[in-house]
Amino acid sequence: MYSVIRSILASPRMNGSLTAGVVVLAAILLFGAIGPVFVNTKNAEVASVLPSQPPSADDLLGTDAQGRDVLSIMVVGTPQTLRVGLTAGIVGLVIGLTLGLISGFFGGLPDIIIRVLSDSLMTVPGIAILVIIAANVGHMTVEIMGLTVAALAWMHPTRAIRAQVLTIRERQYVQIARANGESEFGLLFRDVMPNLLPYVAAGFVGSVSGAILASVGLEALGLGPNDSTTLGTTIYWSEQFSAILRGQWWWWAPPIVMISAIFVGLFLLSVGLDRFANPKLRQRT
């Protein structure tokens, strides 16, 4: 296992942005995974200490207006926010990959229908649709929130993958394989798909980033999960209790810092994947 990781890190395709993005996201994942070992996560639900206390030796990030430990809230809320983003990103990418392959490779009427549908939906303000959907969901959960955001997370992957497929299907090796009697589905899965993997990875990172941004926006408006703690709902409750006006920076600042760290990690990972897949970008670094 160590030799595999070492060979990957030694690859000429590796770059600083990709490495930095992986390190930042790995640290965030470890925070959510290992945090419960050192922090009592029950304090994120039960008011066990005095409310609205600033950071101290006992409560490193203080407590909110309901007496919940903010550090415990961060440990519980960070993985939940990532779950929303991953759920929406995976679902949106699977739909976008499927539609992009069909549209770009087969063309014809399916291509026209998919292009018109995706282009039409891209002209509609996404947040407005998401607010309407979220406001009419009776009991919002993390999974439903992810699926709600995924409803509008497939258009950009569809367009990007379609553009790449249009380019790949005209390359010489694909034409040679077709002339040798390779079936259309054989061409699709043996010749086109492997060359799409770097773009699919970059599209996945973009989908997750957009999904987290959309979910945090909805949660900050009070349309998040009803019975789950996330970074967005933490910001919402700090707004409801006027934490900024009351000077309770320890309540609203940590979730904003964590969200910013997630976006920085995803941005670095996206830039690194672009350089990994694009030889021209690698030559500039």
* pLDDT higher at 185 or 239: 239
Q: What is the DSSP letter of 53?
A: P
Confidence of residue 81 (pLDDT cuts 50, 70, 90): very high
Exposure string for 241-273, b = 16+ CB within 10 A, e = fewer: bebeeeebebbbebbeebbebbeebbbbbbbbb
Which of 40-49, 58-67, 226-235 comes out lowest in average pLDDT? 40-49
Which residue do the tokens 């995924």 mark? Answer: 150
The answer to whether residues 118 and 99 touch, using CB atoms and an 8 Å cutoff, is yes
| Ranges of each domain in the chain | 61-97+126-152+192-284
Q: What's the pLDDT score for residue 253? A: 94
Whether the per-residue pLDDT at 48 is higher than 70: the answer is no
Whether the per-residue pLDDT at 195 is higher than 70: the answer is yes
Q: What's the pLDDT score for residue 72? A: 92
Q: Which residues pair with 63 in a beta bridge?
A: 69
d(CA 163, CA 33): 38
**Where does residue 211 fall: left (phi above 0), alpha (psi -120 to 50 degrees), or beta otherwise?**
alpha
Q: What is the CA radius of gyration of the chain?
A: 22
Q: How far is CA 271 from each of CA 14, 26, 36, 90, 105, rounded to the nearest angstrom? A: 11, 17, 32, 19, 27
d(CA 266, CA 271): 9
pTM value? 0.82
Amino acid at 119: D
